[in-house]
Amino acid sequence: MKPRESAAFIASVSKDVKLNPVGIKRVASEIVQAIVSQEFEPNNMMIHSYPLPVIEDASSIEWMFVADALNFSFWALEENAHYSVELRGNQYTGYMALCAAITKAQEANIPITSAKYYANVTKETVNEIFMSSTGEPIPLLEQRWIILQECGKIINDKFDGKFCNCVRQSGNSAQKLLELLVSNFPSFRDEGIFEGERVSFYKRAQILVADIWSVFKGKGLGSFSDIDTITMFADYRVPQALVHFGAMEYSDKLNKLLSTNHTFMNGDQEEMEIRGCSIHAVELIKEELKSQSVNFNKETLPINSAMIDYFLWEYRRRFATDLAKVPYHKVRCIYY
């Protein structure tokens, strides 16, 4: 099953995670207020606030591919001990620290976004490029090195050394690009078995599609006629925001596990319930937004799941102190 169908199925039989219609409406209301007040501008997403590419050309696609190939597992057991990287006097954490590290490498004339380069990059070099400002290695260093080499070799062998050639093969279809990613790159195959059914989440593959769409503002190489078919990107932070708003609720048993910093395994029942219900919650929020009589500009403010995900992810970062009291699930894996 594709992510949307997988999520609906998981939500329909979930035992420890439930969706609350009142919380769903609350998130939709927060998004409407943020857009009307221009506090949140979906047409800009977040590319001007962080060390992400803003140039609408093929180089940005190569940049985003490396970033999202490595976009996983930045959490720490202690809230003040996250992976961090300093860039131009600013300290970034989590995924943005990874982005800062890529930018620093480029400024040091390291061709980190070239498939020909990272197909043969050494583990030692990966460690140096992505080293935390505290001197600690990036989490899952070995896996990131393996993934970089694997992805580089696939791009060189199948797409003439440029990931943008893969994007061109999609024919401006988000689903076709998603299919190309999942079928050609093993590390993007974010799947599992739930209640005897094969389900999918495709967090990193879908966020790569959405990031390309966002950087290009839905034009040129980022023009995907079916971008609305992409779901939210099921990680560990957006569920935290959904719980904060009351859109998702956990059982006492699950809350107890989360409050003790329990580390789940990728594929555990509780972990898949959290991710599946998160995707379905965002689909319900999207439907609620569509039903509201707010005069959005359809060209610059598309109401889709990627937009809602960006809002929730950004909200969690902006109000990190407030949301720190909401426990989130922790899984050390390559998928998110």
Catalytically active residues are 235
Measured between alpha carbons, how far is 111 from 109 in angstroms, rounded to an integer?
A: 6
Angle among Cα 222, 225, 228 to the nearest 5 degrees reads 100
If you write DSSP's letter for every residue of 164-175 in order, what string do you get? HHHHHHTTT-HH
Strands 330-331 and 263-264: what pairing?
Answer: parallel
| Helices and strands, number each (H, E), in the chain | 15, 8
Helices 203-215, 58-69: inter-axial angle, 10-degree rounding: 160
What b/e sequence results for 26-58 when a residue is b if at least 16 CB atoms lie within 10 Å of its CB, and e otherwise?
bbbebbbebbeeeebebeebbeeeebbbeeeeb
Measured between alpha carbons, how far is 101 from 86 in angstroms, rounded to an integer?
A: 8
Strands 191-194 and 263-264: what pairing?
Answer: unpaired
If you write DSSP's letter for every residue of 93-106 in order, what string do you get? EHHHHHHHHHHHHH
Q: How far is CA 114 from the centre of its chain?
A: 22
Tell me the two tokens of residue 243. Answer: 């719980």
Measured between alpha carbons, how far is 64 from 33 in angstroms, rounded to an integer?
A: 30
Measured between alpha carbons, how far is 98 from 268 in angstroms, rounded to an integer?
A: 27
Location of structure tokens 């694997």: 150
Which of 35, 36, 54, 24 has the alpha carbon at shortest distance from 217? 54
For residue 107, the one-letter residue type is: E
Which of 294, 318, 299 has the alpha carbon at shortest distance from 33? 294
Tell me the two tokens of residue 336. Answer: 């998110």
